[in-house]
Amino acid sequence: MNKITAAITSIGGYVPDYILTNDELATMVDTNDEWITSRTGIKERRILKGEGMGVSYMGIKAANEALQKANVDPKDIDLVIFTTCTGDMPVASSATYLATEIGATNAYGFDIMAACSGFLYGLSTAAKFIEAGAHKKVLLVGGDKMSSIIDYTDRKTCVIFGDGAGAVLLEANEEGYGVQDAILKSDGSGRDLLKIDAGGSMMPPSQKTIDERLHYVYQDGPHVFKFAVTNMADVSAEIMKKNNLTSEDVNWLVPHQANKRIIDATANRMGLDENKVMLNIQRYGNTTSGTIPLCLWDYEKQLKKGDNLVLAAFGGGFTWGAIYVKWAYDGNK
């Protein structure tokens, strides 16, 4: 029997309609389009507006699109994994709710939290269930409603993040397509550089935590930048070396969209021209777990069966990693 691999066989995506431009942000905090564009590459980001709208709203839309495109009955899904750091609620996973809402009544679900590397951690986990023969169809959703945890009086963070979600269907494959290799890493000593202080078991919510704005994301940008730029480039080079991939062999870099300067440094280290780098940071900003699936969603038509993709990310925790994927279908069909 051939080895079983986990192939991505369909993609869906969703970004909210509301566009928050750099110019609008400049009316909210002391910033300007020139600073944001030159330091990050971001021009605009999407914001999910409306009472009671959680990240699952976006995940459900993305998941339904992925299943419809693949013509797969939701009842045939074995497992739903939702990677997010902005789940609908602290308790009750978003994956279980999403599974029920899309009609995946034979699946079980759980969430994974690995901040901006969430999609990579989810992809690696999903692939293991398929490779082990435990499941045939896994739905992986990555998304975040970052606007729910961003302080729109803090110019250091509010210009960076946005809302969005993507979903991929993973199916067992016996022709060698799909996830080939994954290198995942973490370093807990970095948690104080990118975090939300309050709302967890260490510092439960109180009037004081609200007054001190401790439920919002804090980021020491320049320090995180140094770790991100080195580690994302290193791990991308490492996965190429481990799999004997030259820059000619790699068709696409699919990078986490945190900062265009980090993406450029990673591509440079891999020896890739910019036309092999997926980029949509200018339109969506940093959607955390949503960036990588939203890139695949945007570039799907350009992907060809057999293309070699390197997915790479760095995020809070710290967490980082790279995954080598052999693409399983022609995206323009």
Taking CA atoms, 315 is separated from 84, 228, 266, in Å, by: 12, 7, 15
Of 85, 116, 158, 295, the active-site residue reads: 116
330: its two tokens = 């022609």
Q: Is 215 a catalytic residue?
A: no
Residues sharing a CB contact under 8 Å with residue 50, sequence separation 6 or more, in sequence order: none
Q: What angle do CA 228, 146, 278 make, to 5 degrees?
A: 50
φ/ψ (deg, to 5) at 193:
-90, -15
- For the bound state, the minimum distance from the C-beta of residue 259 to ligand UT7, rounded and expressed in Å, comes to 4
Nearest to ligand UT7 by Cβ — which residue?
Answer: 221
Question: Exposed/middle/buried for 292, CB within 10 Å: 0-12, 13-18, 19+?
Answer: buried
Contact in structure between 160 and 285 (CB atoms under 8 Å):
yes
- For the bound state, the minimum distance from the C-beta of residue 308 to ligand UT7, rounded and expressed in Å, comes to 25
- For the bound state, the minimum distance from the C-beta of residue 115 to ligand UT7, rounded and expressed in Å, comes to 7
69: its two tokens = 């495109």
Residue type, 157: T
φ/ψ (deg, to 5) at 165:
-150, 150
Q: Is 295 a catalytic residue?
A: no
Nearer to ligand UT7, 143 or 315 (CB): 315
Question: How many other C-beta atoms are found inside a 10 Å radius of the C-beta of residue 302?
Answer: 12
Q: How far is CA 206 from its chain centroid?
A: 31
- For the bound state, the minimum distance from the C-beta of residue 314 to ligand UT7, rounded and expressed in Å, comes to 6
Q: Are strands 108-112 and 79-83 parallel, antiparallel or unpaired?
A: parallel
Nearer to ligand UT7, 46 or 61 (CB): 46
Of 135, 256, 259, 295, the active-site residue reads: 256
Q: Assign 42 to helix, strand or coil.
A: coil
Residue ranges binding ligand UT7 (CB under 6 A): 31, 35-36, 39-40, 116, 155-156, 159-160, 221-222, 224-225, 228, 258-259, 262, 286, 314-315
- For the bound state, the minimum distance from the C-beta of residue 37 to ligand UT7, rounded and expressed in Å, comes to 11
Nearer to ligand UT7, 104 or 123 (CB): 123
Q: Are strands 218-219 and 79-83 parallel, antiparallel or unpaired?
A: unpaired
Nearer to ligand UT7, 110 or 218 (CB): 218
Nearer to ligand UT7, 41 or 178 (CB): 41
Nearer to ligand UT7, 27 or 201 (CB): 27
- For the bound state, the minimum distance from the C-beta of residue 320 to ligand UT7, rounded and expressed in Å, comes to 9
Q: Is 256 a catalytic residue?
A: yes
Q: List, by residue number, the catalytic residues.
A: 116, 256, 286
